[in-house]
Structure 1
Amino acid sequence: MTWEEKIKDFEIFLRFERNFSENTLDAYVRDIKKLKDYSEESLENTGPDRITYENLQEYIFRLSKQKFSERSQARWISSIKAFFRYLLEDEVREDNPSALLEGPKLGLYLPDTLSLTDINKIIDAIEISSKTGKRNHCIIEVLYGCGLRVSELIDIKISNINFKENYIKINGKGDKTRFVPLAHYTADLIKDYIYEVRSEYKVAKKHEDTLFLNSRGTSMSRVIVFLIIKELTDKAGVSKKISPHTFRHSFATHLLQNGADLRFIQEMLGHSSITSTEVYTHLKNEELRDVILNYHPRNANIAQ
């Protein structure tokens, strides 16, 4: 038995039985490959069937000294635990050496969000007189108006947009399909982009149905979308650290602030568990706390 063999089996298991997204799957496999390298270099090539809890402890200890974030350390441990649980279920091992591993205690992660003012500043920074600018404007509005992941954005098919009923069919994580409503404003922007901008692209083969295209007429990459947003953010003078995902967080937060039900937000985001969506209630609680501190008469008396 080799590490390569078991890592390949693990990858197949995550892909087809656990329905992991490509990004999560890549991260888990990459983590286990690092463990393999450590085993080959420091443990005399000890195989996955013979590695011990003490070996894993030492490995995690060494990594923790390299100034990686606690969130990265937590993911390594999650990857290792998933790998050895798989080996146990596959009867490669009779024990689980990772069972007692403990990750760092993580504080509550509250995602960065943008105010409507910040979003409008970013949009105002776009040169909408150009075709590229019009496309970028549409990208920002779809990210914010539909709460999509960047992987979902670049994979939108024109045939999955229903302008009559105003919704987009989205294939999300784990091949889960959901239908995201389109505001009339966002739907009109998409139509204008399709008929006024995209129609003038020379579309490459196999991309005839792709909504957002690059200058070569093929699908846009995640990196390009990230760079577009970074450039616009800098130009707009918005100092927050912003990624495509920030617009998704802002979408959910603004819906909650305006009274939307958390269950509906869960459906629109494509979260399999309400727990993932509940982080936004903490953002709202922070806002409520600020309101009390700033406007409650008892607090005002103390301030005086």
Structure 2
Amino acid sequence: MAQITTLPGSGWILLQQGFTEWLQLLNYSPLSIPGMHQALQEFIKYLLAENKTTLAQLEATDATAYIAQLRQATGKRTGRPLSGSHINKHIQVLKLFSKYLRETGKSTVGFALQRVEETRSKPQYLTKTEINALYDAVSNSVLGIRDQAMLAVFYGCGLRLNEGASLELKDIITDRKILHVRKGKHYKERLVPMAEKSYQAIIFYINYARPQLLQAGPTERVFIDANRGRPMQKQSLYIRIKALVKRAKIKKKVGAHSLRHSIATHLLQSGMKLERIQQFLGHSSLDSTQIYTHLKNEQP
């Protein structure tokens, strides 16, 4: 290891690059790898500030102290304490980095980190009347047809923003009317059934509107940007949904994830069992789905 740490921090940079390549080899989502790369970079900055310039100086207590520092920190923009979700993402990356070091024989250091408790607020969702208003706000244009498909994916199928942005043509299993979600949270795959209305909206978009939007050559991604003819990124999808909410004159502060909350709430209100909703949403634990039980008896 000495040959790659001749300059302060240079060894850490190479390890960071190796970690990123390791994640790619393990087929982690390209959408999540940059964030994990950045999280490790923040840890490395902390180590350098502690005058730890080589891997040989790394100790298990460094990770513990770093997380403790994060728990005392505040966000630069908000001025508020960092959320449990934000801290847990750093814990996840540190655990993966420790695994990378051990599996590649670079170090035997292991980080005994426990996830912090996440304070969950009541999820914002739309009533069925508001969902109908959202659909009514869709135009008959090519972009309107794309909007219908977006609503089918994010509301009808309950996909997360990352999952919808990663969706490819091969993921739409037409003979079974199923979406194959390959880029799920924590890199888990799942199969999501499509209701007839959602299925028809997605197929109509793919067969009619999508070919008109393609300008930058063939791509497997489902959603195409109207201006450049390239695959839509998460931010573009989010902005489009927010514009649709505004056009529908819905006053709630909602986005793409609110559509996922909405379908989960509506399924529960219609009598679907919590375990089936858990599978539909791709939750790894039933605890994540339990939050919707607080909304079951509210006005649909």
Quick one: which of 201, 224, 237 aligns to 1:213? 224
Question: 1:56-95 to 2 correspondence within 5 Å?
Answer: 56=63, 59-60=66-67, 62-63=69-70, 64-67=72-75, 68-71=81-84, 72-88=86-102, 90-95=104-109
- 8 Å CA contact 1:39–1:47 kept in 2: the answer is no
Q: 1:132 to 1:32 in 2, by over 3 A?
A: same
Q: Which residue does the alignment assign to 2:30?
A: 22
Distance 2:176 2:61 in 1: 59
Gap change, CA 1:239 and 1:80, over 3 Å in 2: farther
Once the two structures are superposed, residues 153-192 of structure 1 have per-residue CA deviations (whole angstroms, 9 ceiling, x without a partner) of 2344445434454333332337755432222212222343
- The residue number in structure 2 matching 1:6 is 15
Counterpart for residue 261 of structure 1: 273
Q: Deviations over 1:75-99 (max 9, x none)?
A: 3233224323443455544443x43
TM-score by length of 1: 0.76
Give the letter for the 1:49 counterpart: A
Count of residue correspondences: 281
Q: 1:143 aligns with which of 145, 154, 157?
A: 154
Deviates more, 1:55-64 or 1:218-227: 55-64
Cα 1:267/1:9, change in 2 over 3 Å: same
In 2 relative to 1, CA 262–94 (structure 1 residues): closer, same or farther, beyond 3 Å? same
Shift of 1:144: 0.8
Structure 2 residue aligned with 1:35: 43
Amino acid corresponding to residue 293 of structure 2 in structure 1? K
2:118 matches 1:106: yes
Query: Aligned to 1:250, which of 241, 262, 270?
Result: 262
User: Partner residue of 1:222?
Assistant: 234
Which range is displaced more, 137-146 or 103-112? Answer: 103-112
Q: Counterparts of 1:226-245 in structure 2 under 5 Å? A: 226-245=238-257
- Amino acid aligned to 2:148: H
Which residue type is aligned with residue 253 of structure 1?
A: T
* CA 1:85–1:111: 2 relative to 1, 3 Å: farther
Residue 197 of structure 1 and its aligned partner are, at CA, apart by 2.6
Q: Shift of residue 50 of structure 1?
A: 0.9
Alignment CA distance shift 1:180-1:58 (3 Å): closer
2:236 & 2:151 partners in 1: Cα distance? 13
Is residue 154–residue 161 contact of structure 2 (8 Å, CA) maintained in 1?
yes
Contact 1:70–1:104 (8 Å) recurs in 2: no
Q: SS state of the match for residue 224, structure 1?
A: helix
Structure 1 residues 56 and 166: alpha-carbon distance in aligned structure 2, compared to 1, 3 A threshold: closer
8 Å contact 1:170–1:177 — kept in the other structure? yes
Deviation per residue, 1:216-254 (Å, 9 max, x gap): 332111111011112222333434332322222322232
- So what's the TM-score if we normalise by structure 2? 0.77
Larger radius of gyration: 1
CA distance in 1, matches of 2:183, 2:208: 28
- Structure 1 pair 66/214, CA: closer, same or farther in 2 (3 Å)? same
Residue pair 2:241, 2:255 contacting (<8 A) in 1 also: yes
Residue 284 of structure 1: how far off its partner (Å): 1.3
Stretches of structure 2 lacking an aligned partner (at least 5 in a row): 2-10, 76-80
Q: Which stretch shifts more, 182-191 or 5-14?
A: 5-14
The whole-number CA distance in structure 2 between the counterparts of 1:14 and 1:210 is: 22
Q: Distance in 2 between matches of 1:287 and 1:115?
A: 12
Equivalence for 1:46? 53
Sequence identity percentage: 27
